[in-house]
Structure 1
Amino acid sequence: MDKITDDSKISKISSKGQVVIPATIRKALQINSGDKLSITVSPDNEIILKKQPSELDWHNLVKDIPTEIVDVDKNGNYDPNKSPDFHDWMVNG
């Protein structure tokens, strides 16, 4: 991610209510066409834009999380040898 050296830019609102985020800021924050941004108004009437995670961001976040089937009996017991990842999570958090 590039560093933003000048954090203040001027942008106009179009007749359709659209605002252009300057290319230097889009590049530095890795904001691309189609990305979603949340818009919040602070108590001081400042507009805050935050980039929302994409489907790919979520995929990359969870892709290495191990999955396994855990058989739990009616008493809540399971076999740690059959579900080692689950057991590790239960014991170590």
Structure 2
Amino acid sequence: MDNAVIGKVSQKGQIVIPAAIRKALGLQKGTEVSFEVKNNEIRIKKLPTALDWADLVKQIPVENIEIDEHGHYDPKAHPDFHDWMVNG
């Protein structure tokens, strides 16, 4: 969504976020947002919820690595781990 939308500040200092923007960002009643002021502009960001973090963590790959008493592992048995360790 690259279109600018104009709103007004109410007597109580409130601004209504247009429905199209709320829908695009998934903003609902109770959604937390952060405000940042920089160079005479306000940036509003949706804060991640616990569910957002849980979904993100689910995407992290898991590999059980067999490490010996000297801290060594078999890179052939664990090629993904080896590539991750070498390439970062």
TM above 0.5, one fold?
A: yes
- Give the distance between the partners of 2:7 and 2:25, measured in 1 at CA: 17
TM-score (norm 1): 0.63
Shift of residue 4, structure 1, vs aligned partner:
6.0
**Equivalent residue pairs, number:** 87
Q: Which residue in 2 is equivalent to 1:62?
A: 57
Shift of residue 64, structure 1, vs aligned partner:
2.9
Identical aligned residues as a percent: 51
How large is the RMSD of aligned CA atoms in angstroms?
Answer: 2.7
Q: Which residue in 2 is equivalent to 1:8?
A: 5
Given residue 77 of structure 1, which amino acid in structure 2 is its aligned partner?
H
TM-score (norm 2): 0.66
Q: Any gaps of 5 or more consecutive residues in structure 1? A: none
Q: Any gaps of 5 or more consecutive residues in structure 2? A: none
Alignment deviations for residues 41-84 of structure 1 (CA, whole Å, 9 cap, x no partner): 113x2211112222222222231322233343454312332x44
Which structure has the higher relative contact order (CA within 8 Å, separation 6+)?
Answer: 1
